[in-house]
Amino acid sequence: MPSVICIGEKGRLFDALPQAGIEAAALNLGGKKNAFRALRQLVSKMRSARPDVVVTRGYNAEVLGRIAAVIAGVKHSIVWVHSAVDIEPRSWIRKSADQLLLPWTASYFGVAEAQRGYIVDGLDCPDDKVRIIHNGVELDLFDTTTDRSILAEFGIDCLGDPVVGIVASLRPEKGHVTLLHAARIVLNDVPRLRLLIVGDGAIRAELEALCANLGIANNVCFCGARSDIGQVLRAMDVFTLSSNTECFPISVLEAMACARPVVCTDVGGISEVVEDGVSGYLVPPQDPAQLAARLKELLSNPALALRMGQAARLRIEAEFSLERSVVATERAIEDIVYGRN
């Protein structure tokens, strides 16, 4: 029976774990000053639960979780990596910890083939310890029909206006600046364009100021963080992701599951799911002109947008369902526990 331990506080998904029959605990011991206390509790819980394998995610968990597993006698530790680059340079302490713990690490899991070089070269992990398991989405949660009723919440009364949307945290690496400059270009030919920016973050005020400077504030809606992403996606004509760097973003999978054509920057593992010219378009990062050109192409050709959206849904059904991802994860963990290559 799986169990989950959060070293820090409960996250927004924590309460769903017990409801699903999964034992879960939050230690509330995040931060460096609590590291030793957290380690002691992790060791205690591992000795009590006697797991066959420990899977860690996040810096504190990767270090403390693996150390605790060694002390508690857990035979197998897995690090699950969800990044393809380091946004900030890794400290020498972190590099040293990874090196010291590598002999006790059974495998590094990644979510995109694009990560392999980063894991092997950046984290100094042997290639034969790397296992790539693509993310997946629960198909039943994403309706392929269009429903624009939610636009009224964003002050959009004309439901016939073309809608482009992005779902991403408001952080510099997500490339919202590129998107806003692209929107300025699109508006020259599509003056009724509506741009939905779904998500929140530290640079919201900066982006709102940029909208004002570009003269596009009336066409851009900052929707904030939403729990009804599937509903919001159904209101979009085209989904876009303008990131400067990515790994394997769930938002792209969700948009494609809703049969939305996508225009994304060709970074990280996005090309592993988006077939350029089939289910959407790939453009270079930080290139507003090319991003704008592809957005205009889809907005001006509804038949093409529909065809690409349908191809996107079929792509997710065939290769990127949550069920497929779960089965692959179970098989990979069993291979490690039972010593299968």
Q: What is the pLDDT along the chain (341 residues), one digit of tens a residue?
A: 789 999 999 988 899 999 999 999 999 999 889 999 999 999 999 999 999 999 999 889 999 999 999 999 999 999 999 988 887 777 888 888 888 999 999 999 999 999 999 999 988 899 999 999 999 999 999 999 999 999 999 999 877 899 999 999 999 999 999 999 999 999 999 999 999 999 999 999 999 999 999 999 999 999 999 999 999 999 999 999 999 999 999 999 999 999 999 999 999 999 999 999 999 999 999 999 999 999 999 999 999 999 999 999 999 999 999 999 999 999 999 999 998 76
Domain match, 33 and 161 both:
no
* Residue 33, pLDDT score: 94
Domain match, 170 and 23 both:
no
SS3 content of the chain, % helix, strand, coil (to 5): 50, 15, 35
Assign residue 25 the CATH number of its domain: 3.40.50.2000
Domain match, 132 and 169 both:
no
Domain match, 284 and 143 both:
yes
In the three-class reduction of DSSP (H, G, I as helix; E, B as strand; rest coil), residue 204 is classed as helix
Domain match, 67 and 123 both:
yes
Can you tell me the distance from the alpha carbon of 304 to that of 143, in angstroms, rounded to the nearest whole number? 20
Domain match, 190 and 282 both:
yes
Tracing tokens 């988006």 back to the chain, one arrives at: 274
DSSP assigned state of 149:
G
Element (H, E) at 331: helix 322-337
Provide the domain limits for residue 115.
Answer: 3-136+323-337
Element (H, E) at 228: none
The helix-helix angle for 288-299 and 176-189 (nearest 10°) equals 50
Q: Record the pTM.
A: 0.93
Domain match, 178 and 107 both:
no
Domain match, 297 and 251 both:
yes
Domain match, 91 and 119 both:
yes
